[in-house]
Chain A
Amino acid sequence: DTAVSQTPKYLVTQMGNDKSIKCEQNLGHDTMYWYKQDSKKFLKIMFSYNNKELIINETVPNRFSPKSPDKAHLNLHINSLELGDSAVYFCASRPTGLAGLPNNEQFFGPGTRLTVL
């Protein structure tokens, strides 16, 4: 039973193409994230949704557009792919639970390795 799943696992595509990555979590969490991990292993937050509402929108090109059809899914669409978009993209989820209780554990998906040629 995979808690956070992503598809596809690998994505190889040409510059200029448009592609989507899908993420689903079956943990009942209400907050989901997209991260980009570069070749030096630096993990940088891109977006976060809480109950389908965008709560974190870091400085990323507007070619990247997240969509959350429901609180179990957070997809990432990328337009006009560039060489610099090559990275591993991780989806994560976290319960936000009751006020005052720390919920620090994010559950990460297996990652989507994107290569732009």
Chain B
Amino acid sequence: QKEVEQDPGPLSVPEGAIVSLNCTYSNSAFQYFMWYRQYSRKGPELLMYTYSSGNKEDGRFTAQVDKSSKYISLFIRDSQPSDSATYLCAMRTGNQFYFGTGTSLTVIP
């Protein structure tokens, strides 16, 4: 069993839709929870990170962590075609990072 599980999709939504992306994990030692966005043929870029259970908002993006359920989510409001990318969740303990397999998202104009 992988440390981090993520539905690979693909996910296809119309422009303006609310998108929900999710990951589950098994390791209680994870301290930080991150979302990366990866465009085709590019390296991943950090979108957001959170530390504690609860919500963190940044513009159209909201990251949610539920440590008791070992479940994290990323919500994208008013999705745009430019949001089309692969979204990877990541978790950190010490210097070690563990990534999900990524969810491929396409936002259709």
B-binding residues in A (CB < 8 A): 4, 31, 33, 35, 40-45, 48, 50, 55-56, 90, 92, 96, 102, 104-106, 108-111
Contact = CB atoms under 8 A, between A and B. Distances in A.
B57 interface: no
For chain B, which range describes its interface: under 10, 10 to 19, 20 to 34, or 35 or more residues?
20 to 34
A110 B44 CA distance: 9
B17 interface: no
Contacts of A106: 44, 46, 97
B41 A111 contact: yes
B46 A40 contact: no
Interface of B: 8, 32, 34, 38, 41-46, 49, 51, 86, 88, 92, 95-99, 101-102, 104
Contacts of A4: 43
